[in-house]
Amino acid sequence: MSDLATKNGFKNGQPAGAESWTDGQLPALLEIGTEKFSALKAEKASLAGVISGLLSAADDRSRDRLRALDGELAAHAATITVIGQVKAGKTSVINVLTGTPGFLPSDVNPWTSVVTTVHVNKPAPRGNIKASFQFFERDEWDRLMRGGGRLGEMAKRAGAGDEMGRIEDQIINIRRKSQERLGRNFELLLGQTHNYDRADTQLIERYVCMGDPDAAETESAKQGRFADLTRSADVYMSLPQYPFPFSLQDTPGVNDPFLMREQITLRCVRNSELCIMVLSAAQALNTVDLALIRLLSTLDRRQLIIFVNRIDELERPAEQVEEIRASLNATLQRHGIGSVTNIVFGSAKWAEAALTGRPGDLQEASQAALLDWARVVEVPHDANDPCVSIWHLSGMPTLIRAIGDRVAEGSPHRLMQKVRKDLKNVVAQSYAGILGGSGPVNGVEGVLLSEAQVQARMKALVQDLQAELKRETAEILAELRTRLAAASDQFVETTVAAMIRHIEVYGIEGQWECDPMRLRVQLRAAYMGFARSIRAVAQRILARAANETAQLYHDLLGEPGRTLKLEAPMVPQIPAPVAIGRTIVVDLQGGWWKRWLKLRRGANAFAGEYRTLIGTEANSIVAEIEEQQVSSVDAALRRTLQEFLDEHATTLSGIAKAGRVTQDNLRAATGADRHSALRAKLEEATKALDLSDAATA
């Protein structure tokens, strides 16, 4: 690291003429760590090639299916949600990952609830849209407020109404000021979308920044500020340095009392496959960050990357980073989360300096921290350009590589598995079409079953499989409800007993606190048991659907159809139980239980109402899991099964209906060489898919 060991190393880092990020180190630096993205691109291109080859020989119905698969591949982008502490540098990290320091505003007012998503290499929904801003629907605030309203009602009964009252007053005040500022436009804007063919910082600020509260009454502040109404902001950019598309969601911070923001963040996490949690090195998961810890406890650890930002603010990062890592792991272990594989330390400021080619602009303390960190981290270096070393020291290549590893295991992997299976089934269906229209088979003209026979058997199979799925899922759901209720009851009883014992020993002034993490751990264990069971049932029923549908092809086509095999559909993804991470009354802590206890005049009188309180809270979480997650999993399974059966029912009926066409009539209608050309394409596709399977095994 001798090139960084002098002050000249900082001064010489800027390329000649570099005045902005577009003139700096962007192309070379952003490509570092994208190996898994490149592998995904190659796999995607291989499947797109198979689809292209089949399109040239397929019939109309198969072409529609192939185009749909091609569209799925083209439109897919991995969704990555960035969460963390307020002012931890989430937005700065996103700006650096997209090569645009300072692009998204990072000084968002703490009461802003906008989710800003940067779509990298993902096509915009319409034409040349570069930025799109969606306003809240008329009833959106009410739906998001239900969490706060529920807590408010419960907290008032628990003696913590003053805490919730402040939150409700702030939310009401925000809406009132919005109505006063916008006048009749307030109602007109609700539910609307504003689209632009450009995206710049000034435009985005109008929709995601609340502005200066002290200037709220000025005329300029009344015009063109929409952050209090904006639900989401979408920005589209092209970055060829990233071989595979992805979307980065910048969420509101969660370590503040604004429960509306918590609801929004939880909704983002529920629909995401990967979370990057950004922490500040000076405050990594400190004791007040309970909201973050709760959220962590609901996720599969493979879905999580922790990026500890701002190590440039440490005096001795070479020593302190390992101390922070040990403390962070201890905190995670203490709260029952366990170790997280990907914990990356770095600095968005250092990354910005590398991207812009201006390391000399770093403050002296930041430069000193960088040199100290360079003592213990082995990174590539270029004697003529320290920006390469600084980029590695910032942690960004490690973070990009970790994102690629996780994304490669997530939805792109599942999508390409699904597309391979669907393509194999399209090939099988096309072969079946050839066999069904090839004239006499074993002395029998055409196919062996009538259209009516095929439809009757398929109808019976659909009814049987759907009934089995309904029966099996009902049993699993009943078991889940039993386990959730048992976890809730056990938590209530043990917590109340512990509280009473504490009061008997230490009295009302003792520092007792209820820790609902135990409840969350038990609820999560119950849900994960449900997920395993439902996945096993789904795999078995979908495999049966594929096998029995293949048997129907065999019975329809006779001996030549025995070679046909069908792939079972992919089991839909079962999301993490993020509802478990939301705030409940006992998370408020403080002195509410003491005030409540005084009003109830004794521990035993308190215990009965406490059981009701915590039981109601636990039951509301259970209800949300059932309504929002269990029901969606059940619906997705039924839809997957039905779509598979409907697809093959159409093919089988079509073959049965046309199966008595003679060879001469078939050739006259379709051309003499059509079957031989189609066979060649199908064989080529089969070989390509077999190679793809081998490569991803």
Structural domain includes residue 59: yes
Query: Residue 437 phi/psi, 5° resolution?
Result: -110, 20
Tell me the average pLDDT across 307-321: 95
Residue after which a domain boundary falls, among 205, 237, 269: 237
Give dist(CA 571, CA 76) in Å, integer: 18
Task: Give the end of a domain, one of 393, 426, 459.
Answer: 426
The alpha carbon torsion through 631, 633, 634, 638 (nearest 10 deg) reads 140
Query: Is the Cβ–Cβ distance between 147 and 263 less than 8 Å?
Result: yes
Question: What is the CA 25 to chain-centroid distance, rounded?
Answer: 30
pLDDT of residue 103: 92
Q: What is the pLDDT of residues 532-578, one digit of tens each?
A: 999 999 999 999 999 999 999 999 988 888 888 999 999 998 887 87
Q: Which band of pLDDT confidence, cut at 50, 70 and 90, is reported for residue 657?
A: confident
505 part of a folded domain: yes
The rounded percent of the chain whose pLDDT value lies above 70 is 72
344 close to 398: Cβ distance less than 8 angstroms: yes
Whether residues 166 and 200 share a domain: the answer is yes
Q: Are residues 252 and 218 in the same domain?
A: no
Q: How far apart are CA 532 and CA 537, in angstroms?
A: 9
Of the two residues 385 and 669, the one the predictor is more confident about is: 385
Same structural domain for residues 16 and 92?
A: yes
- Return the CATH number at 343: 3.40.50.300
Looking at the fold, whether 600 and 502 belong to one and the same domain comes out as yes
Q: Are residues 231 and 253 in the same domain?
A: no
d(CA 79, CA 40): 15
What is the domain extent for residue 329? 12-114+245-426
Domain co-membership, 578 together with 654: yes
Beta pairing class for 304-309 and 274-280: parallel
Question: Residue 159: is its pLDDT beyond 60?
Answer: no
CA dist., res. 90 & res. 81, Å (int): 10
- Flag whether 85 is in a domain: yes
**In sequence order, which residues have a C-beta less than 8 Å from that of residue 610 and are 6 or more positions away?**
492, 496, 499, 593, 596
Instruction: Please tell me the predicted confidence (pLDDT) of residue 218.
Output: 47
Taking the C-alpha atoms of residue 512 and residue 509, their distance in angstroms, rounded to an integer, is: 9
**Burial track 82-110 (b if 16+ CB lie within 10 A, e otherwise):** bbbbebbbbbbbbbbbbbbbebbbbebbe
Is 587 within a domain? yes
Return the higher-pLDDT residue of 69 and 257.
69
**Which pLDDT band holds residue 659 (cuts at 50, 70, 90)?**
low
Helix H, strand E, coil C: the string for 473-503 is HHHHHHHHHHHHHHHHHHHHHHHHHHHHHHH
Question: What's the pLDDT score for residue 26?
Answer: 59
How many other C-beta atoms can be found within 10 angstroms of the C-beta atom of residue 27?
11
Q: Does the structure show a pLDDT above 80 at 253?
A: no
195-242, pLDDT tens digit by residue?
A: 999 999 999 988 888 655 444 444 444 445 787 788 889 999 999 999
Residue 54, domain member (yes or no): yes
Q: What is the number of domains present in the chain?
A: 3
Residue 597 lies in a domain: yes
Query: Is pLDDT above 50 for 692?
Result: yes
Q: Looking at 214-223, 242-251, 369-378, which range is the least confident one? A: 214-223
Question: What is the distance between the alpha carbons of residues 314 and 327, in angstroms, rounded to a whole number?
Answer: 15
pLDDT of residue 383: 64
Nearest to 26 by CA among 99, 114, 107: 99
Are 251 and 400 found together in one domain? yes
d(CA 129, CA 222): 26
Query: Looking at the domain assignment, is residue 100 inside a domain?
Result: yes
pLDDT at 631: 84
User: Is the confidence at residue 244, as pLDDT, over 60?
Assistant: yes
| 188, 167: one domain | yes
Q: Are residues 333 and 419 in the same domain?
A: yes
469 and 588 inside one domain:
yes
Residues 517, 639 within the same domain: yes
Among residues 642, 659, 676, which one ends one of the domains? 659
- Let me know whether 539 and 581 are in one domain: yes
pLDDT digits (tens, 9 = 90+) for 614-655: 777 777 777 878 777 788 888 999 999 999 999 999 999 988
- Establish if 110 belongs to a structural domain: yes
Q: Which of 152-166, 288-302, 529-543 has the lowest mean pLDDT?
A: 152-166
% helix / strand / coil in the chain, to the nearest 5? 65, 10, 30
Question: Does residue 661 have a pLDDT over 50?
Answer: no
